[in-house]
Structure formats: C-alpha cells, structure tokens
C-alpha cells in the first residue's frame, strides 16, 4: 500500500490543540517501525554497531571518524534514509526509476561509519529486497567523486551484487577496498574523458552481469567547483552522466533507484541544480 505525505502538512502550530506535528511523527514512526526495523539494518550492519548507535555509546574516536556530530536526530535521519532507499528500490521495480532525495551513504561499513556516512542505506535496500525475493541480483553504480569503500567492503566476494565505482583516485577514502569494477580517474578529469570512461565501464559491467535493479549513487561532487572533489565536470557534463546511466540501464530494461550522495559546491545552488537535474532526467525514463 502507498501512503501520501508532505512535510507541509505540519502547520507548525506549536501548542495549539490541533496537533499538526502528528503528520510528521506518524510518517517517521511508520518508516522506522514498518519499513525499516533493526532487523533490516542488521542485514548490513553489525549488531554491536547498531546497539552503540541507538544507545549513544559510540566512542570519541568513532564519532570523530564520522566527521559529523552525533545526536539522536542523526540516528533518526540515517534510519529514515535507509527506509527511503528501501522504498526507492521497491518503487523503481514498479515504475522504472525512483529517487530517494537523500541517502547514498557509501562510506558506511558493517561495523562503523565514516566520512559523513552512518548507515549504508542502499546496501540495506539491496539486502532487504533480496530478502523479500523482490530481486536476486543488484548493481551499484557509484558516480560520487569519492570511492564507495563501505559498499565495496559490504559486498566484496558476494556474486549477487556487482559494485561499480568511478571516482578520483587521489582523494578520500584511503584505503579503497576493491569494488567489482573500480574506475580510478586522475585529478582534473573533464566531461569528455569522464563520460568515455563511464560509458566503457557501464558496458563492461552490464555485459558481465545482469542485475534486477541498479542503485545509482548520483553524487554531485565530481563538479569542477566542488570543495571536496578534484575532478572538473561541468553541470552539463553531469547531466550527460545521468543520462548515460539511465540510457544504458533502460536499454537492458533494468530499473534504477537513485540516491543523492555527496555535493559540496562552493555555491550550494549549484549542488541543488545538479541533483535536481538528475531527478528531472530520471523522470524521462520512468514508466
């Protein structure tokens, strides 16, 4: 069953007798309890790590490694992101494409988080959809400027998941556990070379492996004006990147679930433009 919701249902009436905050709280509770329970998170993450996250028992070093402040709100947000990526996968199977306007937390490992990533939302999506027998095989196409180390570690040695990562080699993370296919780019790569490498990589991956679903990690940080990236793609080049991913997938009738991942442009408007372009182009490929 689908339900309908928008944050704008909340009238922000503070202490008024009409409890308009209920809309948001119901949505959050449904997502937490029904869509993604601790058992779903445990399909990817260690029980010890989940317990520490929920109880606020991460060590100082573990919090430092996350590089974002720990709070109960953070745990709630990443929990909801995991639910969002499960839903995005499920709806992509029906509609051809679907986007979680969040997630893409590819640096999260089974037993720890790092680099702004607490839970690997789309890895949880893959495991949950496999468990539901909605899919057997999945592919991750990770176009964030940083390598998908957590995803590579989670699915390493699992023949049911193909991980593709195209990224700047000379950048975080270190080390980089091997993806099924890593495309290591040198600093300063521009549109034409990037698109050529990505096209070849996708052809190679899709000739070797036939997934039931692709999770597209559509990072905005390969952008030339990104503060944490060292590639030189233009906004138009990133649009062509998105289109390339959807075209290659659609040629083989493979549904695509999108997660946003990173984006640290000097002007936040550029990050927003890059991400909204991805969603607009995805819509062209939905049924």
Least distance CB 104 / Zn ion (angstroms): 8
CA distances from 29 to 25, 79, 118, 146, 240 (A): 6, 11, 20, 33, 38
Question: With binding defined as CB under 5 A, does residue 226 bind Zn ion?
Answer: no
Regarding 167 and contact with Zn ion (CB under 5 A), the answer is: no
Q: Is 263 in the site for Zn ion (CB under 5 A)?
A: no
Whether the CB-CB separation of 189 and 232 falls below 8 Å is answered with yes
Among 144, 182, 226, 242, binds Zn ion (CB under 5 A): 144
The least CB distance from residue 221 to Zn ion, in Å, is 4
- Told to check if 262 binds Zn ion by CB under 5 A, we report yes
Interactions with Zn ion, residue window 75-94 (CB under 5 A): none
Would you say 211 or 229 has its CB closer to Zn ion?
Answer: 229
Q: How far is the CB of 259 from Zn ion (least distance, A)?
A: 12
Residue whose CB is less far from Zn ion, 259 or 273: 259
Looking at the Cβ atoms of 31 and 166, the one nearer to Zn ion is 166
Do the Cβ atoms of 89 and 248 come closer than 8 Å? no
Instruction: Specify the residue, 259 or 277, whose C-beta has the smaller distance to Zn ion.
Output: 259
Contacting residue, 221, 226, 239, 270, with Zn ion by CB under 5 A: 221
CB under 8 A, 24+ apart: contacts of 274-279: 274/220, 274/223, 274/235, 274/238, 275/101, 275/218, 275/220, 277/235, 277/238, 277/239, 277/242, 278/99, 278/218, 278/238, 278/242, 279/99, 279/101
- Is position 114 an interface residue for Zn ion (rule: CB under 5 A)? no
Q: Which residues bind Zn ion (CB under 5 A)?
A: 144, 146, 219, 221, 262
């Amino acid at each position: 069953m689908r339900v309908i919701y928008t944050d704008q249902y909340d009238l922000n009436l503070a202490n008024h007798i009409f409890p308009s905050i209920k809309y948001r709280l119901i949505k959050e509770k449904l997502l937490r309890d029904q869509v993604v329970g601790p058992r779903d998170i445990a399909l990817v993450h260690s029980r010890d790590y989940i317990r520490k996250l929920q109880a606020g028992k991460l060590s100082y070093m573990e919090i430092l490694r996350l590089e974002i402040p720990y709070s109960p709100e953070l745990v709630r947000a990443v929990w909801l992101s995991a639910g969002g990526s499960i839903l995005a996968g499920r709806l992509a199977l029906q509609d051809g494409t679907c986007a979680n306007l969040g997630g893409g937390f590819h640096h999260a490992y089974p037993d720890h988080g790092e680099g702004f990533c607490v839970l690997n939302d789309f890895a949880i999506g893959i495991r949950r959809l496999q468990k539901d027998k909605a899919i057997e095989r999945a592919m991750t196409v990770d176009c964030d400027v940083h390598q998908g180390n957590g995803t590579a570690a989670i699915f390493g040695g699992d023949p049911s998941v193909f991980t593709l990562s195209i990224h700047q080699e000379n950048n975080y993370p270190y080390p980089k556990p091997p993806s099924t296919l890593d495309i290591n780019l040198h600093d300063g790569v521009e549109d034409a070379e990037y698109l050529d490498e990505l096209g070849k990589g996708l052809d190679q991956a899709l000739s070797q492996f036939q997934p039931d679903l692709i999770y597209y990690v559509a990072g905005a940080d390969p952008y030339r004006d990104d503060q944490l990236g060292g590639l030189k793609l233009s906004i138009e080049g990133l649009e062509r990147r998105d289109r390339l991913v959807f075209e290659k997938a659609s040629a083989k009738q493979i549904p695509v679930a999108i997660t946003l991942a990173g984006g640290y442009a000097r002007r936040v408007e550029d990050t927003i433009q890059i991400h909204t372009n991805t969603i607009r182009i995805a819509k062209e490929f939905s049924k």
